[in-house]
């Protein structure tokens, strides 16, 4: 009888484990994040171009409601976002902030001594990740 109860408990644990692993979307099978930007800043290489004058640009994630920032890479230096909500980054020349599904990027004007600077924003909405690459360079104007 004791062995039968142990077998029953083991079977219950196995069934519970198998049933809890099921989900609507298996890991790695989530739909890619879809971004919309009114200014249409993306070039043919998939990089969003920021004009040398700087400015604020808003991107909306169309298929996930509450993404957040995991890291930012500024001119090749990776910075982990470690604040309470992972919703904003304030750097030397740019600010990145999520409000709901809207991501706003504010860039300062490009200094005369700099030809180009780069910004990569890595975001997530759970098990889906995306990187938005930006470049600010001479000769780019809106």
Distance, CA of 90 to CA of 73 (rounded, Å): 12
How many domains, the chain? 1
Any domain includes 29? no
Q: Per-residue pLDDT averaged across 23-52, rounded?
A: 80
- The answer on pLDDT for 72 being more than 90 is yes
Any domain includes 125? yes
CATH code, domain carrying 121: 2.60.40.10
- The answer on pLDDT for 1 being more than 70 is no
pTM of the shown model: 0.76
Any domain includes 14? no
Q: Per-residue pLDDT averaged across 72-98, rounded?
A: 90
Any domain includes 18? no
Any domain includes 110? yes
Pick from 13, 58, 61: nearest CA to 40: 58
- The answer on pLDDT for 121 being more than 70 is yes
Any domain includes 1? no
Any domain includes 42? yes
Secondary structure class of 21 (helix, strand, coil): helix
Question: Domain containing 43: what range?
Answer: 35-137
Categorize the per-residue pLDDT at 22 as very low, low, confident or very high, splitting at 50, 70 and 90: very low
- Decide if 60 contacts 66 (C-beta within 8 A): no
Any domain includes 13? no
Query: What pLDDT score was predicted for residue 43?
Result: 85
Q: Per-residue pLDDT averaged across 42-58, rounded?
A: 91
């Amino acid at each position: 009888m004791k062995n039968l109860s142990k077998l029953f408990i083991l079977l219950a644990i196995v069934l519970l484990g198998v049933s809890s692993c099921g989900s609507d979307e298996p890991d790695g099978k989530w739909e890619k994040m879809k971004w919309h930007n009114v200014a249409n800043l993306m070039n043919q290489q998939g990089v969003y171009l920021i004009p040398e004058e700087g400015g604020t640009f808003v991107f909306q994630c169309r298929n996930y409601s509450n993404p957040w920032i995991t890291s930012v890479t500024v001119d090749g230096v990776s910075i982990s976002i470690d604040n309470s909500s992972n919703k904003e980054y304030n750097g030397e020349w740019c600010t990145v902030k999520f409000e709901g599904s809207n991501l706003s990027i504010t860039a300062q004007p490009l200094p005369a001594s700099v030809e180009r600077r780069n910004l990569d924003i890595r975001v997530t909405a759970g098990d889906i990740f995306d990187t938005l690459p930006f470049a600010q360079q001479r000769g780019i104007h809106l």
